Structure 1
Amino acid sequence: MTSATRMCVLALLWGSGFLWIKICLNEGLTPGWITFVRCLLGTAVLLGLAYRARQRLPRDRGTWGRLAVAALLCNALPFLLFSIGEQTVDSGVAGVLNATTPLWSLLIGLGLGTERPLRATRTVGLALGFSGVLLIFAPWNAGSGLTGPGALALLAAAASYALAFAYMARHLTGRGTAPLALSAAQLLTATGLGVPALTVGGAPTVTWTGVLAVALLGIFATGLTFHLNYRMIAEEGPTSAATVGYLLPVVSVGLGALVLGEPLTVRVVTGMAVVLAGVGLTRVTTGRAAAPHTAETVTCAAPQEN
């Protein structure tokens, strides 16, 4: 498989997650059940891969305690928020709003003092990125603006990812646990954290289409994509992985329009372009190319540092 082909396959699998969430919701599955089953199936995939690679799960309490925080911020909570958000927001827009994660990461880094003071290019990028979000929300447009709780839930999910990256960079990465095993353990913890959400929203409706969609979401868009992304970083470097990150909103918007007939408004498409341009500008002076924390990050364990 060539580099370009691998990149396209990974972007398609990863970016399709928003489509599968929307189909699950349309078929009567509740956000709680989507989150739980997704984590469960993703865990099964990663445990199998870790076993094949002979990587063992962590055994000390301290690591599992830190994993609980990471699993909440990077898996259980954002997965649930994305499902809640997509109850009222198109899947394509959800993918675009998820691309704001690097912007939140930058703001958090500035607040924690882990980011150097912004220079002109990154300042413009930050302002441009959130201007794109404002354009997508269009609060001045009472008829078609995205100002409801669903859109806010999607932004909160992206911010939760950013908090998780900051936490894991300090407390989980570089401590000797093999990455596949660490990711499997984190997603296993997230599965447990998702159990209480099963009681919210009543009993789900079970259809073959819904079962297929949640299976694709858990196995391919959650478990398998982490493995592919990890291999791409290891074999081709973080620059290729970064390029995949910028393709994800395009995939989510395209699939939403083609499969679900979601409208491609000029405002949303322009907003997407502005957000991605802003994200790009915030990263041009980092000194090294790192995989952007975009897209519905599959497991978020062992993230690549900015």
Structure 2
Amino acid sequence: MTTIQRFDARAWLLFGAMALLWGVPYLFIAVAVETYSPAAVVAGRTLLGALLLLPFALRQKALRPAFSKIGWVLAFGAIEMAGPFLLLGHAEQTLPSGLTGLLVATVPLFAALIAFGGGDRSMLSPARLIGLLIGFAGVFVIVAGPGLAVEGGGGLVAVGEVLLVAVLYAIAPFVIATKLRDVPALGTITLALFAVGIFYTPIAFLTQDQVPSIESTLSLVALGVLCTAVAFIAFFALIARVGPVRAPLFTYVNPVVAIVLGTIILAEPLTPGLLIGFPLVIVGCWLAATGGRFRAVKPEPEPGLGSTPDERAAELPPIAPS
């Protein structure tokens, strides 16, 4: 195995692709739920993503190990996809897409708290504690600060839904690391996507009460193709290029993409609370996740899909796709 010390041109291209692919879903979700029910959005994107990932999973022979631990794969799918995807769709019927993307970016804050609860005492370092305080202060400013980015009880409920999504996204990697560490990530994801899609399909038919528009349909297809299938393939390639520690750094760019696209394309307002809270959340997440370090303490080995169990456990992002 080799050690990657820096980003090369291909790594930067993959990094930029991931910043876009997991920053744009909030825009697509906002458009899709205009005429599709949240359950229909979940069913459509997961089944389409699973079908596109299936050939790769078969080629990697990743499905059989996933089937051997089907119970935990289903649990992972519920935590990582079934709950979050539905909650996001429902929340974006009320919240702006940019605000939703920023609130999801609080995953590192909740992941740090979960790690501390599991015995990780590195969270007691001053930098990480300060990061938690700054990050949650940023959330408070966004929700209740100047300009009132969130108005009314419905908006507050939607904020709660998105923060619950962040908690679920923070829990999911722990399931991978403890219960599915010997299962290739590609097999886990593909099988989980199929299971979630099959589960939501009848609910989608029962809850769909209007004729979908062309714009919503195109957005739903983009969610399944670009933001699910293509994004996971690109993310695996990025991990193989720069390692599991450096790869997820693009997630700090995702909320920028979400806010910019929401403002430009959907004419969503940039409130003072959002402008003030945004840098607080990003800085807080970075401090809580890294302790203020710009690079890993030790260089990371280059993992390959289906390599050692510990490396396969790191193939899932600490921040999940929206």
* Class of the TM-score when normalised by the shorter of the 2 chains: 0.7 to 0.9
Unaligned runs of 5+ in 1: 291-299
In structure 2, the partner of 1:167 is 175
Provide, for residues 161-201 of structure 1, a one-character-per-residue CA deviation record: whole Å limited to 9, x for no partner.
1122222221112x1x3322222112122223323542564
Given residue 316 of structure 2, which amino acid in structure 1 is its aligned partner? P
Alpha-carbon distance between aligned partners in 2 of 1:110 and 1:196, rounded to the nearest angstrom: 40
1:130 aligns with 2:136: yes
- Asked whether the equivalents of residues 74 and 164 of structure 1 are also in contact (C-alpha less than 8 Å), the reply is yes
1:153 aligns with 2:161: yes
Alpha-carbon distance between aligned partners in 1 of 2:289 and 2:65, rounded to the nearest angstrom: 37
Given residue 274 of structure 2, which amino acid in structure 1 is its aligned partner? V
In structure 1, the partner of 2:109 is 103
1:79 aligns with 2:85: yes
Tell me which of 34, 57, 62 is aligned to 2:41: 34
- Asked whether the equivalents of residues 185 and 316 of structure 2 are also in contact (C-alpha less than 8 Å), the reply is no
Given residue 111 of structure 1, which amino acid in structure 2 is its aligned partner? G
Query: Residue 3 of structure 1: CA displacement?
Result: 3.1
In structure 2, the partner of 1:293 is none
In structure 2, the partner of 1:118 is 124
- Asked whether the equivalents of residues 129 and 277 of structure 1 are also in contact (C-alpha less than 8 Å), the reply is yes
Q: Could you say if the C-alpha distance between residues 225 and 93 of structure 1 is closer, same or farther in structure 2, counting changes exceeding 3 Å?
A: same
In structure 2, the partner of 1:44 is 51
Tell me which of 264, 268, 274 is aligned to 1:258: 264
Q: Could you say if the C-alpha distance between residues 184 and 7 of structure 1 is closer, same or farther in structure 2, counting changes exceeding 3 Å?
A: same
Alpha-carbon distance between aligned partners in 2 of 1:187 and 1:157, rounded to the nearest angstrom: 17
Alpha-carbon distance between aligned partners in 2 of 1:144 and 1:3, rounded to the nearest angstrom: 37
Alignment of 1:65-76 (within 5 A): 65-76=71-82
Q: Would you identify which runs of 4 or more consecutive aligned residues in structure 1 move more than 4 Å?
A: 59-62, 139-147, 286-290
Alpha-carbon distance between aligned partners in 2 of 1:235 and 1:68, rounded to the nearest angstrom: 29
In structure 2, the partner of 1:195 is 201
State which drifts further: 223-232 or 262-271: 262-271
Unaligned runs of 5+ in 2: 1-8, 301-312
- Asked whether the equivalents of residues 149 and 274 of structure 2 are also in contact (C-alpha less than 8 Å), the reply is no
- Asked whether the equivalents of residues 125 and 279 of structure 1 are also in contact (C-alpha less than 8 Å), the reply is yes
Q: Could you say if the C-alpha distance between residues 304 and 215 of structure 1 is closer, same or farther in structure 2, counting changes exceeding 3 Å?
A: closer
Alpha-carbon distance between aligned partners in 2 of 1:124 and 1:140, rounded to the nearest angstrom: 23
- Asked whether the equivalents of residues 33 and 204 of structure 1 are also in contact (C-alpha less than 8 Å), the reply is no
In structure 1, the partner of 2:11 is 3
Provide, for residues 44-103 of structure 1, a one-character-per-residue CA deviation record: whole Å limited to 9, x for no partner.
12112223x332412676510001110000001000000011010000000000001111
Q: Partner of 1:10: helix, strand, or coil?
A: helix
In structure 2, the partner of 1:227 is 233
Q: Could you say if the C-alpha distance between residues 99 and 200 of structure 1 is closer, same or farther in structure 2, counting changes exceeding 3 Å?
A: farther
Report the count of equivalent residues.
Answer: 293
Given residue 257 of structure 1, which amino acid in structure 2 is its aligned partner? T
Given residue 280 of structure 1, which amino acid in structure 2 is its aligned partner? W
Given residue 159 of structure 1, which amino acid in structure 2 is its aligned partner? V
In structure 1, the partner of 2:305 is none
In structure 2, the partner of 1:23 is 31
